Amino acid sequence: MADRADVLIVGGGVVGTSIAWALASRGVTGIVVVDLDLAGVYASSELNAGGVRATWWQPVNIQSCLATLDFFRDHAAALGFRNRGYLWLYSDPELYAQAIEKRRFQNDCGLAVELLSAPEVPERFPILDRGLEEIVGATFSPRDGLVNPNAVRAWYRTEAERLGVVFRNRHYVAGVVTQRVSGAAGSRRRVSAVDVIEVERGEVADTGGTVREILTTHRVPINKQAGETRISCDVVVNCLGAWSPIFSSKIGVADVTEAVRRQICLVDIHREDIAPGVSLDDLGMIVDASGLYFHPEGAHILAGFSVPDEAPGFDFGYDGDDFFETQIWQRLAHRSSSFERCGHVRGWAGLYAVTPDCSGIAGKVRSFDNLFEAHSFTGRGVMQSYAVGREMAALITTGRFEACDLSALTRERFEDPDRWVREELHI
């Protein structure tokens, strides 16, 4: 492996890969991406529900997601983008009042969000035929939709490799070498090199569980180490998502991110139970007032729910039938008679990288002169990936953001609660 990189990107998920492509598109050379799991078996972007939307409450999240949605729409066939919209149901009058207020700005941005009264919901979405007396209203966002996250990341990587970016799989960052430098801005630290351990290669599916063990324990077993290399670098970008605090701890930077498990399952439905005139094929994402979210996924329904008291931790365990029966089925059947006899097919768990205000972290790390970061988008990585990649490439090469100002997402905002980018519409 090369022992030098002009730009070293740590983390080859959807955001890191987008940044690599955007940098290479600007003519930057010597870009190396290192990741333990480039196949994405445990990548947060690969294990999500595939919903993409610009319907948020914070301007930076709306604008970056909207730019990314436009990109998805322009490459719809390659990325599996389906422009089917998002329906959001509200049972809390106060929250719905806030949604109505935020709609003004959303529509100023071009989202064309519609308001639906409770009686209008089943008229537009006949599958929702139960429990409507508790619904105070809904919003429908026609510009949102569904995408294939795997296809998105693969597209970024293919284009990046075509432009000369080198991707190194099964490489784990074991240490970071820093030094103190002086300049016009005073004394700062600099990342001069990164030590990576090459992990013994196994099957892509990680049958032996080595990759999973490393991702949950943050150490490489001695008997699985194939070699260690020190890569010197001019620029480093931390794109490790839920694992960003592990990297930050190696350089003495406090990180506010927490890894939190999110579970999703596939639901088998009996087509004969679907009411006449109801079509599943044209539905987008439906977010229920209970916190349940679901959308059609091939012959099944994909459904998820974020357990409120889920403890932070690097946990990929899926709770199986218990999760389906206690968290999914009851909520589906409560909202739709079509789901009374649905069954559990399978499911999985991935990690959200959650920040205190539920918005991502992007920018330059203030105490370093060559360290950048883009991570912890709290389930929003795919939705913001194109814009974040483009703007981080601009910041790295020119020192400023261009088309979409991400400066609100600097980590320094957490020093002052008044600067937090508080996002409410996360699931």
| Mean pLDDT, residues 269-278 | 73
Q: Do 11 and 40 lie in a common domain?
A: yes
Find how far residue 415's CA is from the centre of its chain: 24
Q: Which amino acid is at 345?
A: V
Could you say which of 305, 332, 354 is where a domain stops?
A: 354
Any idea which of 32-46, 152-166, 176-190, 321-335 has the lowest mean pLDDT? 176-190
Q: Are residues 205 and 327 in the same domain?
A: no
Tokens for 293, please give them.
């979210």
State yes or no: pLDDT of 1 exceeds 50: no
Q: Residue 313: which CATH number?
A: 3.30.9.10
pLDDT of residue 201: 76
- Domain count for the chain, please give it: 2
Residue 63, in any domain of the structure: no
Query: Which of 327, 354, 381 is a domain's end point?
Result: 354
* 83: CB partners within 8 A, 6+ apart: 73, 76, 142, 143, 144, 145
Same domain, 249 and 162: yes
**What is the average pLDDT across 284-304?**
95
pLDDT at residue 94, as a whole number: 96
Q: How far apart are CA 406 and CA 385, in angstroms?
A: 12
pTM: 0.96
State which of 330, 354, 378 marks the end of a domain.
Answer: 354
The whole-number average pLDDT for the span 86-98 is 97
Tell whether 183 and 273 lie within a shared domain: no
- Of 412, 367, 365, nearest to 180 by C-alpha is 367
Strands (DSSP E) contained in 269-424 are: 285-287, 293-297, 300-305, 343-354, 361-364, 371-375
CA distance 35 to 238: 11
Domain extent, residue 322, equals 86-142+260-354
- Tens of pLDDT along 73-90? 999 999 999 999 999 999
pLDDT at residue 185 is higher than 70: no
Task: Assess whether 160 and 307 both reside in one domain.
Answer: no
Using DSSP, state whether 317 is helix, strand or coil.
coil
Q: Is the pLDDT of residue 184 over 70?
A: no
316 lies in the same domain as 371: no
Residues 347 and 362 occupy one common structural domain: no
The pLDDT-based confidence of 393 (bands split at 50, 70, 90) is: very high
Residue 218 lies in a domain: yes
